Amino acid sequence: MLEIRNLSFITPEGKTILHDINLSVDGTNEKFVAITGPNGSGKSTLAKIIAGILTPTTGQILLDGVDITGMSITERARNGVTFAFQQPVRFKGITVRDIINIAAGRELSLDEACNYLSEVGLCARDYIDREINESLSGGELKRIEIATAFARSTKLTIFDEPEAGIDLWSFQSLIKVFEKMNRSINGQILIISHQERILSFAQKIILLSAGEIKAYGTGEEVMPLLMGNDAGSLQYECAKRGE
Amino acid sequence: MNMADLSISKDKLDILGKLNVMAENLTGAFSLRVDGSPYAKGSSANVTITAKKDLPGIDIHVKAGTRGEKIHIPVILTQTGIKDLVYNDFYIGENCDVEIVAGCGIHNHGHEDSAHDGIHSFHIGKNARVFYSEKHYGESVPQSGKNIMNPTTIIDIAEGGYMEMDTVQISGVDNTIRKTKGKLGDGAVLKITERIMTDGEQYAETQFEVDLDGADSGTHVISRSVARDNSRQLFISNVNGNNRCSGHTECDAIIMDAASVSAVPKISANSTDASLIHEAAIGKIAGEQLVKLMTLGLTEKEAEDRIINGFIQ
């Protein structure tokens, strides 16, 4: 169970990115929850605050009743939070196998490590000893990032726009990965996405706009706000911020 | 000759271990130099190792067509105050495919400086392949003298020959000037990988100079280094494309603390068919790399170590 209480984030320049967010995501019935909303609505900021990468100006975050607000990134990771980056990081000299082992917290056998890559549709033996550097495409990096999150299999996994920056072909197979994940997960997944396909199988959708939660409900409840009636109001919010 | 004949003490074996040389490697064709003097050497059916008559050092002759043989020629200094200078010449016959493991380890427990200058000349025959690795390692006690190593490697590769040089200096060398010169014939290829880490007040200087004289010759020089504390590094490379050839040098450095790193690349094309590239990048560890590894459960220090170890391994 993830709880967020009265959380706000104001930049050092005084700009409010998130305003008084209150949220309670039930870990039993709401295992696959999507966060959506216009660009600049504060989605990534919220995800980074949960992962400990950004510090909120005010508010509290609780995971299974434990207040994690004051914990470092490392402590949160060790207490069950995983964050998959929107733009995966490249390294020189760290291989795919290395990062999967770090994620798993132990030296995996070749078969175990390869299984995680196969899960995301990569031909494992072609990738396992490759460096996570410029030689990998955006789509390949994205899949490795997701495989790394699989290898951690923590209580809470946050994906920040897994569809961003990948080609359409990769996207189609990525959707399948998330569909499968949705069916088989043990922990809880928060996924930031603009993609209707991903939103369509989320058990709950959080709609953020201009730093506030505009809606939190099932797809049936929230999707119409995105598609029809309230689209105008979102456009208005964007226009208001000059986007 | 077997190990019992060599009677190497444990402390010497420990330093040899740091150079990736085990006792069992000192059989067949090998040479071990200790504290400025030849200690033991051997030859095999295809590889002859003989002492030079006029200079300190050895000549290594590898018969044409020799394949799969591995030759170890480590040097160790265990007494303080030794200034060792050695000339080793390698004559690699045509169509060979051999591996040579060199390296120098210094254990300096006294107040004087210990120094080793090794001048290695390679004469690589037509279509021969050589994999050459050298590791430089030093260890000291507090207030001991400096560990100084100045290796010079001169490489001449005949038509169709190939040499790969893997050079590593990770720890304990206070002062080093490392010079490597290559001269390549038609179709010859020289690949050099250098990995250096300096800390404390150490200074490391690298000078690469490669003449791509032959048609379709090529070189690829990769230098990766980490400079910590107050250490200083200077990387100079000079690649001359004198024919239809390709050259690529990459200098990548991570800088930390109060260290300083300079990269001075030079590429000169003296033929319109020469294709030369130089890349140099110096910077601190990217914050996002640290954050990524921390989100996987590592502490900041563990993440930093992991990034550095990956970078120079």
Q: Looking at the complex, does the CB of residue A123 fall below 8 Å from at least one CB of chain B? A: no
Does residue B160 surpass a pLDDT of 60? yes
Q: Looking at the complex, does the CB of residue A106 fall below 8 Å from at least one CB of chain B? A: no
**Choice among A61-70, B74-83, B140-149, B178-187 with the minimum mean pLDDT:** B140-149
Number of domains in chain B: 1
Closest chain B residue to the Cα of A54, Cα to Cα: B291
Residue to substitute from A83, A91, A142, interface B, most B β-carbons within 10 A: A91
Nearest to B313 among A53, A72, A93 (CB): A93
Q: Do B224 and A93 touch (CB under 8 A)?
A: yes
Q: Do B310 and A83 touch (CB under 8 A)?
A: no
Residues, chain B, total?
Answer: 313
Residues of B in contact with A83 (CB under 8 A): 295
pLDDT of residue A118: 87
Residues of B in contact with A91 (CB under 8 A): 289, 307, 310
Q: Looking at the complex, does the CB of residue A152 fall below 8 Å from at least one CB of chain B? A: yes
Which of the four pLDDT bands, split at 50, 70 and 90, describes residue B170? confident
Q: Looking at the complex, does the CB of residue A103 fall below 8 Å from at least one CB of chain B? A: yes
Cβ atoms of residues B214 and B185 within 8 Å: yes
Nearest CA-CA distance, residue A75 and chain B, Å: 7
Q: Looking at the complex, does the CB of residue B311 fall below 8 Å from at least one CB of chain A? A: yes
In chain B, which residue ranges form alpha helices assigned H by DSSP?
Answer: 3-6, 10-18, 287-295, 300-312
Cβ atoms of residues A198 and A26 within 8 Å: no
Could you tell me the pTM of the whole model?
A: 0.83
pLDDT of residue A29: 78
Mean predicted confidence (pLDDT) in B244-270: 96
CB pairs under 8 A between A and B: 61
- Provide the mean pLDDT of chain B: 93
pLDDT of residue A101: 95
Residues of A in contact with B296 (CB under 8 A): 77, 82, 99, 102-103, 148, 152
Which of the four pLDDT bands, split at 50, 70 and 90, describes residue B166? very high
Q: Looking at the complex, does the CB of residue B297 fall below 8 Å from at least one CB of chain A? A: yes
Number of domains in chain A: 1
| pLDDT tens per residue, range B262-304 | 999 999 999 999 999 999 999 999 999 999 999 999 999 999 9
Closest chain A residue to the Cα of B308, Cα to Cα: A93
Nearest CA-CA distance, residue A225 and chain B, Å: 34
Nearest to A77 among B224, B295, B309 (CB): B295
pLDDT of residue A130: 94
pLDDT of residue B48: 97
Nearest CA-CA distance, residue B183 and chain A, Å: 30
Nearest to B296 among A53, A72, A103 (CB): A103
pLDDT of residue A207: 95
pLDDT of residue A228: 57
Q: Do B224 and A74 touch (CB under 8 A)?
A: no
Range of the domain at B279: 3-286
Q: Which residue has the higher pLDDT, B36 or A186?
A: B36
Mean predicted confidence (pLDDT) in B247-261: 96
pLDDT of residue A236: 40
Beta-strand relationship, B30-34 and B67-77: parallel
Nearest CA-CA distance, residue B308 and chain A, Å: 9
Residue to substitute from B295, B308, B309, interface A, most A β-carbons within 10 A: B295
Mean predicted confidence (pLDDT) in B209-238: 97
Low-confidence ranges of chain A (pLDDT < 50): 229-243
pLDDT of residue A171: 77
**B304 found inside a domain:** no
Residues of A in contact with B300 (CB under 8 A): 74
Q: Which residue has the higher pLDDT, B144 or B307?
A: B307
Nearest CA-CA distance, residue B292 and chain A, Å: 7
Does residue B2 surpass a pLDDT of 50? no
The DSSP bridge partners found for residue B152 are B119, B179
Cβ atoms of residues B242 and B211 within 8 Å: yes
Domain of residue A163, CATH code: 3.40.50.300
Range of the domain at A179: 2-240
| pLDDT tens per residue, range A225-234 | 887 544 444 4
Nearest CA-CA distance, residue A54 and chain B, Å: 11
Nearest CA-CA distance, residue B227 and chain A, Å: 16
| pLDDT tens per residue, range B109-119 | 888 898 889 99
Residues of A in contact with B306 (CB under 8 A): 94, 98, 102
Map tokens 């990988």 to a residue: B193
Residues of B in contact with A99 (CB under 8 A): 296
Q: Looking at the complex, does the CB of residue A74 fall below 8 Å from at least one CB of chain B? A: yes
Q: Which residue has the higher pLDDT, B213 or A181?
A: B213
Nearest to A53 among B224, B291, B313 (CB): B291
Percent of chain B with pLDDT over 90: 78
Q: Looking at the complex, does the CB of residue B296 fall below 8 Å from at least one CB of chain A? A: yes
Q: Which residue has the higher pLDDT, B6 or B198?
A: B198
DSSP chain A: -EEEEEEEEE-TTS-EEEEEEEEEE-TTT--EEEEE-STTSSHHHHHHHHHTSS--SEEEEEETTEE-TT--HHHHHHTTEEEE-SSPPP-SS-BHHHHHHHHHTS---HHHHHHHHHHTT--HHHHTTSBSSTTS-HHHHHHHHHHHHHHH--SEEEEE-TTTT--HHHHHHHHHHHHHHHHH-SSEEEEE---HHHHHT-SEEEEEETTEEEEEE-HHHHHHHHHSTTHHHHHHHHHHTT-
pLDDT of residue A240: 42
The DSSP bridge partners found for residue B251 are B223, B280
